[in-house]
């Protein structure tokens, strides 16, 4: 089966986040994540080295869309054609970080995902942390995973399976990295977290020291995930959005069969205690 990994590889490029306190949230990403701040029509554009966040005012907080970049216009058209052929509406999207021609799709529960070609904004200085994946909770895991795999072309890297035999977590990739998207089965439909991939363990240490100096506590980790085998810890921003910092995420070949893991704390953190969704 043709997939994004083989036909039109994509990487998570930026997020569009809605906030009831956009100026406060912008200050967090400016000061803690080394992002330059600029005012755009819908709020703030925060850009750091290999990471960016659009922040716009809204009555509630959450993720408006996650934006994936493709290599060029040819790959973007391949993906658009695939989505359209599977009955997925591709809504034209104006985004300051994408060239003209970007589009967004909505999954069966209304989550929006954008795809486009980067404008090629210049790299900025700052601590290493590449925006790498985003994760959601869903009440309809099987239906949602089927949408992203069958209609868009994501590939399943690993599944976490409960004692009853059903999947409780699914990790999906859009290029060679273990996952750029994942879903946990839960009682709510909400944004779970997003992740920044660093270069090595010492970067994890340095980011931990940075948040400690700002009196922002780690709420999960440090540890090592089973699926993906990456080192990690998590903190929250002023809106309560969860940020993960990771290192050593696995690569997965296009022909690899999905892995299967037992549901439990040691799967989510082989070093010890885990944050278990419900």
- What is the per-residue pLDDT across 136-164, written as a single tens digit (0 to 9) for each? 999 999 999 999 999 999 999 999 999 88
Are the beta carbons of 169 and 184 closer than 8 angstroms? Answer: yes
Average pLDDT over residues 163-190: 96
pLDDT digits (tens, 9 = 90+) for 120-140: 877 678 999 999 999 999 999
Measure the CA–CA gap between 77 and 13, rounded to whole angstroms.
18
Q: What torsion, rounded to 10 degrees, do the Cα atoms 142, 144, 150, 153 define?
A: -130
Average pLDDT over residues 74-93: 98
Which pLDDT does position 123 carry in this prediction? 67
Which pLDDT does position 228 carry in this prediction? 98
Q: CA of 221: how far to CAs of 45, 241, 275, in Å? A: 29, 16, 9
Measure the CA–CA gap between 103 and 201, rounded to whole angstroms.
36
Q: Which residues pair with 112 in a beta bridge?
A: 106
Query: At the topology level of CATH, where does 4-117 sit?
Result: 2,3-Dihydroxybiphenyl 1,2-Dioxygenase; domain 1 (3.10.180)
Q: What torsion, rounded to 10 degrees, do the Cα atoms 147, 151, 154, 155 define?
A: 80
Q: Is residue 278's pLDDT more than 90? A: no
Q: Transcribe 75-129 into DSSP letters.
A: HHHHHHHHHHHTT---EE---TTB-TT-EEEE-TT--EEEEEEB--PPP--SS--
Which pLDDT does position 36 carry in this prediction? 95
Q: Is residue 263's pLDDT more than 70? A: yes
Domain ranges (residues) in the chain = 4-117, 130-268
Average pLDDT over residues 7-30: 98
pLDDT digits (tens, 9 = 90+) for 201-255: 999 999 999 999 999 999 999 999 999 999 999 999 999 999 999 999 999 999 9
Percent of the chain with pLDDT over 70: 99
Q: CA of 208: how far to CAs of 48, 80, 86, 194, 217, in Å? A: 18, 40, 44, 16, 9
Mean pLDDT of the chain: 96
Could you give the angle at the alpha carbon of 218 between the alpha carbons of 170 and 27, nearest 5°? 100
Q: Transcribe 174-222 into DSSP letters.
A: SSSBS-SEEEEE-SS-EEEEEEEE-SSHHHHHHHHHHHHHTT---SEEE
CATH annotation of 130-268: 3.10.180.10
In this chain, the answer to whether the domains covering 4-117 and 130-268 adopt an identical fold is yes
Tokens of 104: 């967004």
The pair phi, psi for residue 231, each rounded to 5°, is -75, 150
Tokens of 193: 């977290």
Q: Is residue 30's pLDDT more than 80? A: yes
Q: Is residue 1's pLDDT more than 80? A: no
Tokens of 70: 């493709």
Residue 259, exposed/middle/buried by CB under 10 A (0-12, 13-18, 19+)?
A: middle
């Amino acid at each position: 089966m043709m997939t994004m990994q083989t036909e039109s590889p994509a990487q998570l490029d930026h997020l569009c986040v809605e906030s009831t306190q956009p100026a406060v949230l912008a200050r967090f990403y400016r000061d803690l994540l080394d992002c330059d701040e600029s005012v755009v029509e819908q709020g703030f554009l925060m850009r750091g080295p290999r990471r960016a966040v659009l922040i716009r005012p809204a009555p509630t907080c959450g993720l408006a869309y996650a934006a994936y970049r493709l290599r060029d216009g040819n790959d973007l058209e391949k993906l658009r054609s695939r989505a359209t052929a599977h009955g997925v509406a591709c809504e034209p999207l104006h985004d300051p970080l994408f060239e003209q021609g970007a589009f967004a799709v909505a999954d069966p529960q209304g989550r929006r995902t954008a795809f486009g070609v980067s404008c090629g904004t210049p790299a900025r200085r700052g601590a290493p942390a590449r925006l790498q994946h985003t994760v959601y909770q869903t009440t309809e895991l099987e239906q949602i995973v089927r949408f992203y795999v069958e209609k868009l072309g994501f590939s399943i890297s690993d599944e976490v399976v409960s004692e009853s035999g059903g999947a409780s977590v699914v990790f999906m990739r859009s290029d060679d990295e273990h996952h750029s998207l994942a879903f946990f089965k839960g009682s709510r439909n909400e944004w779970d977290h997003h992740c920044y991939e660093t270069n090595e363990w010492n970067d994890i240490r340095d980011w931990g020291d940075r948040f400690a100096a700002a009196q922002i506590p780690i709420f999960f980790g440090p540890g090592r995930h089973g699926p993906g085998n990456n080192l990690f810890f998590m903190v929250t921003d002023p809106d309560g959005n969860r940020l993960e910092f990771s290192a050593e995420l696995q690569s997965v070949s296009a022909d690899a069969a999905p892995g299967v893991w037992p549901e439990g704390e040691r799967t989510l953190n082989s070093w010890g205690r885990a944050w278990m969704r419900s």
